[in-house]
C-alpha cells in the first residue's frame, strides 16, 4: 500500500484573511492552479473549518481582528494531529511579529502585495516538501508497524471486496475482534450513513460495483455502526488500488471525529456567547438582527429592540471592584432572561449594555411592558458576596417597521432612545421617534 492512497488527488488549501479582496484574489489564483479552496474570515472561522475538514495547507494572514495569525498558527500546530503546513501572508514589516509566526510553527511567509509567481512556487515547494517528509517517514519504517500504530482506522479490502487487513485502531473503533472481521464482505462491517440520514446502507466503496471511473470516495462527516449497533461520527475515505489498469482492492481510512465535533461546537459557542454571563454576544446579535428583520418583513409582523444601559453600575466597580461588578452582571443577565418568552432573546453587547429582541410581540405597547418589567426587576437590590448593590436601567426602544427598515438603523435608533431615557432622569424607558424620542411612560405618546 502506497502513502499516495491516503491523499486526495487535488490538494485542499484553506485561506484565512479578513480582507475580502485578498480572499477573492487568492481563491481565483489557487483554483486556476487546480487546488481545492476554502475560506475563513478570521481565526475562529479557521479553527471551525479545521475542525470539520482535513487540509493540505493553510494560507494565513498575520494581522486579523480577534485572534491574530500567530495565535491561530500555534493553535493549528499544537491542537491538530498531522497539522497542515502554514504559510503566513503579511503587509507588516515587523521582525518581532514574523519571529512569533515562525515560533508558532509557520513554515514560511510572503509579503503583500502578493507576487503571484513567487506564491505559486512557494506553495508547490511547501506541499512537495510536506508530502516528501510524510512519504520518507513512511518508507523509513515497516509499513505494517506504522499501520498498526496509526490512530486512524485503516482497512485493506481485496479484489473480491473482502476485508484482508484492519489495524488495531479500526478494530477498537468498531468494537470487533480481528477474527470477526477478516474475510468478511466490507459492506457487512462498514455500515455507513451520511449526515441527516438514518440509512446505514451507503456503499462506501462504489468502485467495486464496476463503475467506469474508479475515483476515491471521501466523506468529511459520516456515521459508522459499531458491533453493538451504536453509531459514531467519522471522517471516512476509500481509495481504489489499481494495478496494471485493473481494480485489485481498496484502502479504507476512517477517524472518530467525536472530539473534533465537540471542539468545533465549543469554538462556535465561544464565538457567539459572552464568557461571563453565557448570554449570546455582540457577534451573535450582529448576525441575528438582520435575520429577524427579514422574517418580520416576510410575515408582516412587528419586531421590537430594547437597548438597555445599566444605571449606577460604574460606582459598584469603583467601590467594590470589578469582581463584584461581574457578579452583578451575572445576576442582571438572569433577571433579564426571566422576562422573556422562548421566541425572544437577550444579548450582552459588552460592558453594562444589553439588548432584548422581541420577535413575538403583537404591539409596541408589549415592548413597553417588557421594558417596564425589566426596570422593575433591576431595581430590586442585588446581593453579592455580602454586599447589597442598587442599580437601575435606562432603556431605548426601536420598532420595525415603524421607525427603521434595516438592522443598522434599528440598533442606532434604540441607542438614541436609550440616551433620551438617560436625559429624562434615568431608570425609565423611551421609544424612538423621528420627530424626537417619545417620553417615558407605560403608554406610547407623541411629542407635540
C-alpha grid cell for residue 53?
475538514
Rounded to whole angstroms, the Cα distance separating 17 from 30 reads 15
**Which positions ≥6 away from 320 have C-beta within 8 Å?**
387, 389
d(CA 324, CA 182) in angstroms, rounded, equals 63
Q: How far apart, in Å, are the Cα atoms of 196 and each of 181, 221, 255, 396, 417?
A: 28, 11, 19, 43, 45
Third-level CATH fold of 273-431: Alpha-Beta Plaits (3.30.70)
| Spatial separation of the C-alpha atoms in residues 295 and 360, rounded to whole Å | 11
Longest dimension (CA), the chain: 90
Q: Does domain 144-258 have CATH number 3.30.450.20?
A: yes
* CA 280 to centroid of chain Cα atoms: 14
**Residue range(s) of every CATH 3.30.450.20 domain in the chain:** 144-258
**Phi and psi at residue 409, in whole multiples of 5°?**
-65, -35
End-to-end CA separation in angstroms for the chain: 84
Task: Write down the pLDDT at residue 188.
Answer: 94
Q: pLDDT value at position 436? A: 57
Cell for 24? Answer: 477573492
Spans of the chain below 50 pLDDT:
1-8, 437-439, 441-448
Using CA atoms, how far residue 60 sits from 90, 113, 446, in Å, is 9, 14, 54
CATH class of the structural domain 3-139: alpha beta
Cell numbers for 198, please give them.
438514518
Contact 44, 67 (CB under 8 A): yes
d(CA 71, CA 191): 40
Chain region(s) in the chain for CATH 3.40.50.2300? 3-139
Euclidean distance between CA atoms 204 and 183, whole angstroms: 17
From residue 155, alpha-carbon distances to 183, 217, 286, 317, 409 in Å are 12, 14, 46, 61, 58
Global pTM reads 0.54
Q: Which run of H or of E encompasses 334?
A: helix 322-338
**Measured distance CA(284)–CA(219) in Å, rounded:** 29
Q: Determine which helix (DSSP H) or strand (DSSP E) holds 388, and give its type and residue range.
A: strand 387-389
Q: What is the pLDDT of residue 213?
A: 64
The H-or-E segment that residue 111 falls in is strand 108-111
Q: Where in the chain is the domain with CATH 3.30.70.270?
A: 273-431
Residue 11 main-chain phi, psi, to 5 deg: -60, 140
Amino acid at each position: 500500500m502506497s502513502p499516495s492512497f491516503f491523499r486526495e488527488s487535488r490538494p485542499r488549501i484553506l485561506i484565512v484573511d479578513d480582507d475580502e479582496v485578498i480572499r477573492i484574489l487568492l481563491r481565483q489564483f489557487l483554483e486556476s492552479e487546480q487546488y481545492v479552496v476554502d475560506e475563513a474570515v478570521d481565526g475562529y472561522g479557521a479553527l471551525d473549518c479545521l475542525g470539520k475538514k482535513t487540509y493540505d495547507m493553510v494560507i494565513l494572514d498575520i494581522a486579523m481582528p480577534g485572534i491574530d495569525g500567530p495565535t491561530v498558527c500555534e493553535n493549528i500546530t499544537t491542537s491538530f494531529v498531522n497539522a497542515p503546513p502554514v504559510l503566513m501572508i503579511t503587509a507588516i514589516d515587523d521582525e518581532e511579529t514574523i519571529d512569533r509566526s515562525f515560533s508558532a510553527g509557520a513554515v514560511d511567509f510572503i509579503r503583500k502585495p502578493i507576487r503571484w509567481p513567487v506564491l505559486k512556487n512557494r506553495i508547490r515547494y511547501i506541499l512537495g516538501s510536506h508530502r516528501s517528509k510524510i512519504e520518507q517517514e513512511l518508507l523509513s519504517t515497516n509499513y505494517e508497524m506504522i499501520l498498526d500504530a496509526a490512530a486512524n482506522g485503516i482497512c485493506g479490502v481485496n479484489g473480491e471486496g473482502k476485508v484482508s487487513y484492519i489495524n488495531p485502531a479500526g478494530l477498537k473503533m468498531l468494537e470487533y475482534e480481528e477474527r470477526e472481521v477478516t474475510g468478511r464482505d466490507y459492506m457487512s462491517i462498514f455500515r455507513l450513513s451520511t449526515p441527516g440520514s438514518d440509512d446505514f446502507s451507503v456503499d462506501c466503496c462504489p468502485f467495486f460495483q464496476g463503475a467506469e471511473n474508479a475515483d476515491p470516495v471521501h466523506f468529511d462527516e459520516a456515521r459508522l455502526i459499531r458491533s453493538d449497533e451504536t453509531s459514531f461520527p467519522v471522517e471516512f475515505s476509500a481509495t481504489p488500488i489499481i494495478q496494471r489498469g485493473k481494480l485489485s482492492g481498496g484502502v479504507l481510512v476512517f477517524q472518530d471525529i467525536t472530539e473534533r465535533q465537540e471542539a468545533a461546537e465549543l469554538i462556535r459557542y465561544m464565538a457567539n456567547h459572552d464568557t461571563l454571563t453565557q448570554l449570546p454576544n455582540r457577534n451573535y446579535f450582529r448576525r441575528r438582527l438582520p435575520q429577524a428583520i427579514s422574517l418580520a418583513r416576510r410575515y408582516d409582523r412587528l419586531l421590537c429592540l430594547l437597548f438597555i444601559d445599566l444605571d449606577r453600575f460604574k460606582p459598584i466597580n469603583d467601590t467594590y471592584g470589578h469582581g463584584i461588578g461581574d457578579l452583578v452582571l451575572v445576576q442582571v443577565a438572569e433577571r433579564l432572561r426571566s422576562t422573556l418568552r422562548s421566541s425572544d432573546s437577550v444579548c450582552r453587547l459588552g460592558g453594562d449594555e444589553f439588548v432584548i429582541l422581541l420577535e413575538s410581540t403583537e404591539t409596541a405597547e408589549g415592548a413597553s411592558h417588557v421594558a417596564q418589567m425589566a426596570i422593575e426587576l433591576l431595581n430590586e437590590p442585588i446581593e453579592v458576596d455580602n454586599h447589597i448593590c442598587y442599580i437601575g436601567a435606562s432603556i431605548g426602544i426601536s420598532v420595525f417597521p415603524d421607525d427603521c427598515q434595516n438592522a443598522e438603523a434599528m440598533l442606532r435608533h434604540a441607542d438614541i432612545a436609550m440616551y433620551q431615557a438617560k436625559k429624562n432622569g434615568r431608570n425609565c424607558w423611551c421609544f424612538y421617534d423621528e420627530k424626537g424620542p417619545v417620553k417615558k411612560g407605560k403608554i406610547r405618546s407623541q411629542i407635540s
